[in-house]
Amino acid sequence: MSASSAPVALPGLDGKVALVTGGASGIGLATVRLLAASGAKVVVADLDEAAATAAADEVGGTAVRADVTSADDCAAAVAAAVDTYGHLDVVACNAGLTTYPTPAVEITEGDFDATFAVNVKGAWLTARAAVGALKDAGGGAIVVTGSVMGERTRPGFAAYAPSKAAANHLARSLAVEHAGDGIRVNAVAPVATDTAMLEKFLGTEDPAAARQRFESSIPLGRLATPEDVASAICFLASDSASFLTGVVLPVDGGRSI
């Protein structure tokens, strides 16, 4: 599916209320669109308020300006869902960031801390804020956007890759704790995906050559689209995945075979 074609509705999401962090761009935006096309009400939470508003307006949802590194902002995003739509069923902990490839010994403390603050602590704060509302709804689903780099690292990403290993494992940790609450927690592990963030992964030296290298390392012969990843997130969030929890699902065209 191209980014411009309308998403095809998935079963098992109609009538649900979903919160998507980092929902204003890339994978998050594709997830917002697919959730809405599948009958869910969507709260778009993002640092970029204007883009969040545009995304929410597009799907008839609600926008919240939220920084996932702030416990107060995460609580406010959950409250916006419950106040606006009465309950919360689905949470996509998707906001994330990286830097350009940087040798491990040259990563600044600031960049290292910021990467973990958003990719790990931000996902945890979002999930922590949402658990009470999900329990009130009788259960629900959390999907964390991890990365293939959480399982297999590469040079230049000694902050990002470990942060995604932690994000992948956060999903498993939450899954074992909250299964008894009827809350399923899974992660997707995308390979390089055609979003704004891709520029960082390709680096500045020769992005076209880097892209070719990435593509040739993927058995299906192309990068992921945001829609590929959104499909996996929405499937894991849906009732169709009702017996799946603690799964880290590669969305990688066979990269990790």
Ligand X SMILES: NC(=O)c1ccc[n+]([C@@H]2O[C@H](COP(=O)([O-])OP(=O)(O)OC[C@H]3O[C@@H](n4cnc5c(N)ncnc54)[C@H](O)[C@@H]3O)[C@@H](O)[C@H]2O)c1
User: Binding to ligand X by residue 187, rule CB under 6 A?
Assistant: no
Q: Which residue has the tokens 């994330």?
A: 96
Query: Does 150 sit near ligand X (CB under 6 A)?
Result: no
Please give the backbone phi and psi of residue 219, each rounded to the nearest 5 degrees, phi first.
-50, -40
Per CB under 6 A, the list member of 78, 133, 175, 197 interacting with ligand X is 197
CA angle 122, 128, 133 (to 5 degrees): 130
CB of 10 to ligand X, least distance (A): 19
Amino acid at 181: D
Enumerate the active-site residues: 160
Among 7, 61, 190, 250, binds ligand X (CB under 6 A): 190
Instruction: Answer whether 77's CB lies under 8 Å from 19's CB.
Output: yes
Q: Does 47 bind ligand X (CB under 6 A)?
A: yes
Residue bearing tokens 């649900």:
16
Going by the DSSP 8-state scheme, the letter that residue 224 receives in this structure is B
**CB nearer ligand X, residue 32 or residue 82:** 32
What is the DSSP code (8-state) at residue 118? Answer: I
- Binding piece for ligand X, criterion CB under 6 A, among 8-16, 22-30, 74-82, 178-186: 22-30
d(CA 170, CA 114): 17
State which of residues 97, 171, 232, 249 lies at the interface with ligand X (CB under 6 A): 97
Q: Which is nearer to ligand X, 47 or 133 (CB)?
A: 47
Give the number of other CB atoms < 10 A from CB of residue 151. 17
* Touching ligand X, residues 62-91 (CB under 6 A): 66-69
Q: How far is the CB of 19 from ligand X (least distance, A)?
A: 12
Where are the alpha helices (H) located in 4-119, listed in sequence order?
26-37, 49-59, 71-85, 109-116
Residue from 7, 22, 61, 250 touching ligand X (CB under 6 A): that is 22
115 vs 238, which CB is nearer to ligand X? 115
Q: Count residues contacting ligand X (CB under 6 A)?
A: 30
162 contributes a contact to ligand X by CB under 6 A: no
95 binds ligand X (CB under 6 A): yes
101 binds ligand X (CB under 6 A): no
Sheet with 17-21, edge to edge strand ranges: 62-65, 41-46, 17-21, 90-93, 140-145, 183-190, 248-251
Cβ distance to ligand X smaller for residue 44 or 137: 44
User: Is 142 within 8 Å of 174 (Cβ atoms)?
Assistant: yes
Longest dimension (CA), the chain: 51
Kindly list the residues in this chain that would bind ligand X in the complex (CB under 6 A).
Answer: 21-22, 24-28, 46-48, 66-69, 94-97, 118, 122, 145, 147, 190, 192-193, 195-198, 201
